[in-house]
Amino acid sequence: MKKSYAIVSAYLDMVVPFYDVDPMRIVWHGNYVKYIEDARCVLLDKIGYNYIAMEESGYMWPIVDMRLKYVASAKFGSHIRIHADLMEFETRIKIDYRIECLDTNKILNKAYTIQVAIDIETQELQFESPAALTDKVLTYVG
């Protein structure tokens, strides 16, 4: 099997806040989506194409597919790291995520999201990523 490598990587460290946990003091499953969104924003900022820049370039990038695999539970007060790895950008944005507990070195969650470009003015799906994205990625990776 061919191994894929990240084109650009970023991560976000955080401590699980009380308001994200359920009565058993474990992170409610829906909050993992928020965590990967936060890490995705860090990654997009890193390449200079965040959601504001997307809109200014004339495109919106809705998520059309998202998968999460829950491996273990994060707990209140745990130190976690959310990794975001840009895996594809030529025709869509595919980002892989891995959430790990820094206290135990255990993987808590694996996920990915896929986003496609939609021209804001025409509402048409773009079958290739616009230069507004590809130029930023290519400039960043050199």
pTM over 0.75? The answer is yes
pLDDT at 142: 85
Identity of the amino acid at 115:
Q
Handedness of CA 141, 13, 111, 61 (dihedral sign): negative
Phi, psi of 91 (to 5 degrees): -120, -15
Residue 1 has pLDDT above 70, yes or no: no
Question: Which domains, and CATH codes, for the chain?
Answer: 8-141 (3.10.129.10)
CA dist 88 to 11, 49, 53, 105, Å? 17, 15, 19, 27
Partnered with residue 80 across adjacent β-strands are: 14, 101
Distance CA 46, CA 7 (A): 12
pLDDT at 4: 82
